[in-house]
Structure 1
Amino acid sequence: MALDGLLAPVITAVHPFSDAPAALATVENGHASGKVVVKVA
């Protein structure tokens, strides 16, 4: 569906892997209105 353009996820923030604890804290505290992405590479 994403490749066909039928799916448009809402991404709140993108964090580098080194900032994963802060990304997780954002999700746990309920401050994310969309997806929080941790970039690995």
Structure 2
Amino acid sequence: MPGWEDSSWDYHGEDRKLYFKNNGKTYRTAFTTGDTIGCC
């Protein structure tokens, strides 16, 4: 799963956590209606 492997990241908008190597850290604010989400 993304965020569990050494070379991947995952962001969960509902709980504001950024995951890397299966460790979650609170990051920024949660998604809300009307937000534009992107990645690169």
If the TM-score is normalised by the length of the shorter chain, which range does it land in? under 0.3
TM, length-normalised to structure 1: 0.20
TM, length-normalised to structure 2: 0.20
More helix by share: 1
